[in-house]
Amino acid sequence: MFSDPNIDETIQLNGKVYRFSEASSAPGIVYAEIGRKAKIYRLIDNKNDAFALKVFKEAYRSSNIRETTIQITTYQDIVGLAVAQRVVIDPKKHSAVIRQHKDFTYAVLMPWIEGKSWINFVAGKIRITRHQSWLLVQTLANTMARLEQYNLAHCDLSSSNFIFSPDFSSVELIDIEDMFGPNLIPPRDYPKGTNGYGPPWIQSKGIWEATADRFSAAILISEILGWQFKDVRGASHGDTFFAEAEFGNESRRFRLLSSRLKHIYPPLSRLFETVWFAQSLEDCPKIEDWQEMLTVSKDMIIEQRQRKPRKPRQPRHSIQAITKGAESDFDRSSRTWWGLIYFIMVISGFALFLATLMALG
């Protein structure tokens, strides 16, 4: 692997200066994340905006990156594809940078996406609320359905390849170098999916087509919906909810998640089961079908809750107790008055008796 640049070291691309930043969790070390194909550095420009520099390992560097990058930039205005706004370090255009760091040949600079990664929630079994799960699945389904409508596909969608905002309301895809598009150059090797999100029939041959995300998107949507339940979180395989060998089999995790989806809204469970036992992408529902079903199911759940009669709040004291208390207060009051009247009558009688005696005397 190549050597890292120094903290605060700078490079200049197209007239702009970018500075390598320090890892906040490891002072004295340049920020870097290592992936399967590349190492990603975090850079800061003069406006203090953050960028990602994706430096590919030698086996994955080629001039195809330059051509693919030019084509991918045409999709930068599509929601969810912010990282399509990118610049490739071309040996012909940026020779000074290459002399500075030879390993930066065909590296790609793109916006840095701040947010959360779903893989951290799965690996850490981190709880999300029902409201958060609904927000995230609807946002993810909307983003992926929109790509499908444009005949685009990520082709390796997984828990680690999308970032979502802290409020769960926006999603951005990352690692889009091998994405499918009508005008994009096919990769040398077709993506074979990620363990836990791709069945054997995808991983054996690889996929690169407009429908490529239908299986993985369905698994992610189902997984995120189920994550609101403690028993689903507890059953997680590790970094993924499902183990690679489970797909197509009636495993314990499959039955658990299916039952939880059925509890939420039965048609969701039927969509999930259709995908689970699929043997081709043609067998999988469109992502748009998930998008529509999520909208319908949420509306149905809200309507059912509004219809459900609310249990009347039990008063702190029952009517009988209040009545009984009122009667008791009345009885006590009556006895008090009658006693006072009796006392006055006795006093009056005694006074009359004394007056009579005095008259006789």
Could you read off the pLDDT of 21-80 as tens digits, one per residue? 999 888 899 999 998 899 999 999 999 999 999 999 999 999 999 999 999 999 999 999
Domain ranges, ordered by start, for the chain = 10-111, 116-307, 319-354
In the prediction, which pLDDT does 316 show?
45
State which CATH number among 2.30.30, 3.30.200, 2.60.40, 3.30.310 fits the domain covering 10-111: 3.30.200
pLDDT category of residue 315 using cuts at 50, 70 and 90? very low
* Global pTM exceeds 0.85: no
CB burial string 254-293: b at 16+ within 10 A, e below: bebbbebbeebbeebbebbbebbebeebeebbebbbbbeb
Q: What are phi and psi of 110, to 5 degrees?
A: -150, 165
Mean pLDDT of 150-176: 97
116-307 is a CATH 3.90.1150.10 domain? no
pLDDT in tens, 116-128: 999 999 999 999 9
